[in-house]
Amino acid sequence: MKIAFLGTPPFAVAALEALAAAGHELACVVAQPDRPAGRGQELRAPATKVWAEARGVPVLQPEKVRDGQLAAALGALAPDVLVVVAYGRILGKDLLELAPHGAVNVHASLLPRLRGAAPIQWSLAEGDRETGVSIMQMDEGLDTGDVLLQRVLPIEPADTAETLSERLSRLGGAALVEALGLLAEGRIVPAPQDHTQATLAPIIQKEHGRLDFQLPAEKLVCRLRGFTPWPGAYTTLGGKTLKVHAARATHGDPVMRPGTAQAMSSGLFVACGGGTAILVTELQLEGRKRMSAADFLKGQPVPAGTVLG
């Protein structure tokens, strides 16, 4: 197929790789504009732009997508289908209906569960045992289009949003190629979603990473995994931000107030809701480097009765 590809972050690159390997023609890559990044706030090109330019694929980076100019530019290329992977913009009807096969999206969840911007993070945060990818025919709603194909992926106990994203991106690329092949041959039957079963995965905000020790320990560990690497899990100690990089759930003391910390040889024990606790094994206090909790406690005593947060 002749494809106009719309995608921006590293997650979308695996789909580009899969499409190129399958022999599809990439007419162009549409990415969001270069943005300031890093301590120097220097302009940084999106991952898909870097990939495309290295292979001589034309790149478009419009500031707006609803003024008709992008639709005109893509229409001149006469693509068979638009492929959208984490582009980061909502497309209008002019783009969704531009190509004969419409616009096909790779969404990193088993729709209708976890519609929205952050399905990978929320899948982990909510303690799911499995997730997957949905190849969807886009419409004007928020991830409400008919599903062309789905593939399931088990979530590993050590997965974070970073590692799960890498695995889902590869699965999404393979599923996308399979779906386009079936679509081209007319051998795919779009399946409407059961909208009554839909749940949402909203954009992650920094505040989502704040640890609420009233929650059970297992729930806190799930949130830590879901919000790693960003925004990370954090609380406060002595008025400073304390980032928690690694922790595991353990048995607690039901009489301890949630948030009460206790230094142990293996890490920092913190009481949580429901008589549970977490054992923090790796952390970083504001202004200091990341280190094991055991090493941290050698130089930073945590008096008995200290309450975090």
> Do 18 and 179 contact (CB within 8 A), yes or no?
no
Q: How far apart are CA 122 and CA 219, in angstroms?
A: 12
Closest C-alpha to 209, from 199, 191, 222, 224:
224
Determine whether the annotation assigns residue 109 to a binding site. Answer: yes
Residue 19 annotated as part of some ligand binding site:
no
In this structure, what are the phi and psi dihedrals at residue 119, rounded to the nearest 5 degrees? -65, -30
Query: How many angstroms separate the CA atoms of 229 and 212, rounded?
Result: 18
Contacts of 224 (CB under 8 A, 6+ apart): 211, 233, 244, 246, 247
For residue 307, give every residue at least 6 positions away whose Cβ sits within 8 Å of its Cβ, in sequence order, or none: 257, 259, 260, 261
| CB-based contact 103:96 (threshold 8 Å) | yes
196-234 burial: b if 16+ Cβ within 10 Å, else e: eebeebeebeeebbbbebebbbebbbbbbbbbbeebbbb
The verdict on whether residue 98 carries a ligand-binding annotation is no
153 annotated as a binding-site residue: no
Binding region for (6S)-5,6,7,8-tetrahydrofolate: 109-112
**What residues are designated binding site?**
109-112
